[in-house]
Chains A and B, each alone.
Chain A
Amino acid sequence: MPMAAADIEALIVAGIPDARVEITDLAGDGDHYAARVVSASFAGQPRIKQHQAVYAALGDRMGGVLHALQLTTAVE
């Protein structure tokens, strides 16, 4: 089941309240997205931890319905 871009963004912001999220629908099929997440909370964290924070916000959807999310993170 694909997910709407707005739902992905809402989940990320629920988990990381100060996050600025840009979602791009890569294939136009509601199934292949790129997400860029910028947050001050990432400061001082290695990239793995930044990605894990986003994955935690997405819960078990990541790797499941969201098997094709291309993720970029950056510090505010």
Chain B
Amino acid sequence: MTDQTQERIAGLVNGADVLLFMKGSPLFPQCGFSSRAIAILQHLNVEFDSVDVLQDQEVRQGIKAYSDWPTIPQLYVKGEFVGGSDIMMEMYESGELAQLFADQGVTPA
């Protein structure tokens, strides 16, 4: 990954309280895992931004190195990597994700 890509990703991650790197858009997710991630965020009623990695090959590859995580979607909260859709689902079911958003003072949607 080039330094420039790294910097761009850092800018995106730090530029939103809740950021989801996904395939497609919240209205038209392009894979089941991204769709599941969006459903969880909408259920928890938080304001979030998203980045469609299908529109940007540099970010699509770069984000995997940035997070040391091989798959999309990827959720960041306040600049910290939380996990992919499986972790989001586990944390949603256990109440940990709602707690994390509450602890971080994330804005409701």
**A-side interface size class:** 10 to 19
Q: A52 to B90, Cβ gap below 8 A?
A: no
Cβ of B68 under 8 Å from chain A: yes
Q: Which of chain A's residues has its CB closest to B82's CB?
A: A48
B91: min CB distance to chain A, Å: 7
* A51 touching B84, Cβ below 8 Å: yes
B64, CB-defined interface residue at 8 Å: yes
**Complex interface residues of chain B between 71 and 109 (CB less than 8 A to chain A):** 71, 81-84, 86-87, 90-91
* A62 near B91: Cβ-Cβ < 8 Å: no
> Provided the pairs A62-B70, A63-B70, A72-B90 are in contact, do residues A51 and B64 lie with their beta carbons within 8 angstroms?
no
Residues on B with beta carbons closer than 8 Å to the beta carbon of A67: 71
The 8 A CB mask of B40-59 against A (1 = contact, 0 = none) is 00000000000000000000
**A71 contacts B by Cβ under 8 Å:** yes
Q: Which of A28-76 contact B (CB under 8 A)?
A: 47-48, 51-52, 55, 60, 62-64, 67-68, 70-72
Contact B81 A51 (CB under 8 A): no
Return the contact of A52 from the options B32, B64, B68, B91 (Cβ within 8 A).
B68
How far apart sit A64 and B87, CA to CA, in the bound complex (Å)?
A: 19
Inter-chain pairs besides A52-B68, A71-B86, 17 sampled, C-beta below 8 Å = A47-B90, A47-B91, A48-B83, A48-B87, A51-B83, A51-B84, A51-B87, A52-B69, A55-B69, A60-B70, A63-B64, A63-B71, A67-B71, A68-B33, A70-B86, A72-B86, A72-B90
